[in-house]
């Protein structure tokens, strides 16, 4: 199968849009309205926590690739989305911590 740069760009734009919705929904669950990173702002969390969560999400994704989940609400796509979002959060929190 040939996959063009245009197709890749289109697919990535679709992902960015769906990840924005995931971030918004999870932000409403985990953070407060004034600070979307309120649940991550702590000396014990921040970018290190994001990296730890990426590892956990990667391990969960590997498990979902290897076997059907017992809990049908758990979706592989959601794990990929969380990995990408945490990968975006980590450098932002790192830069904010340097300020």
Task: Tell me which residue of 38, 83, 44, 43 sits closest to 60, measured CA to CA.
Answer: 83
Confidence (pLDDT) at 2: 92
Question: What per-residue confidence (pLDDT) applies to 43?
Answer: 65
Please state the pTM of the whole predicted model: 0.77
Least confident interval from 27-31, 49-53, 85-89: 27-31
Under the banding of pLDDT at 50, 70 and 90, the label for residue 39 is confident
Cα dihedral value 77, 79, 85, 86, nearest 10 = -170
pLDDT band for 5, please (50, 70, 90 cuts). very high
Tokens matching residue 7: 């197709």
Decide if pLDDT at 78 tops 90: no
Ranges of each domain in the chain = 5-98
Neighbours of 54 (CB within 10 A): 18
Query: For the chain, what is the largest distance between any 2 Cα atoms, rounded to a whole number of angstroms?
Result: 47
């Amino acid at each position: 199968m040939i996959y063009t740069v245009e197709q890749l760009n289109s697919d990535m734009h679709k992902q960015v849009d769906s990840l924005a919705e995931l971030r918004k929904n999870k932000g409403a669950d985990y953070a407060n309205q004034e600070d979307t990173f309120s649940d991550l702002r702590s000396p014990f969390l921040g970018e290190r926590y994001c990296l730890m969560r990426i590892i956990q999400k990667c391990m969960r994704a590997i498990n979902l690739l290897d076997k059907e989940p017992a809990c049908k609400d758990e979706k592989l796509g959601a794990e990929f989305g969380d990995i990408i979002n945490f990968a975006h959060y980590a450098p932002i929190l790192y830069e904010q911590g340097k300020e």
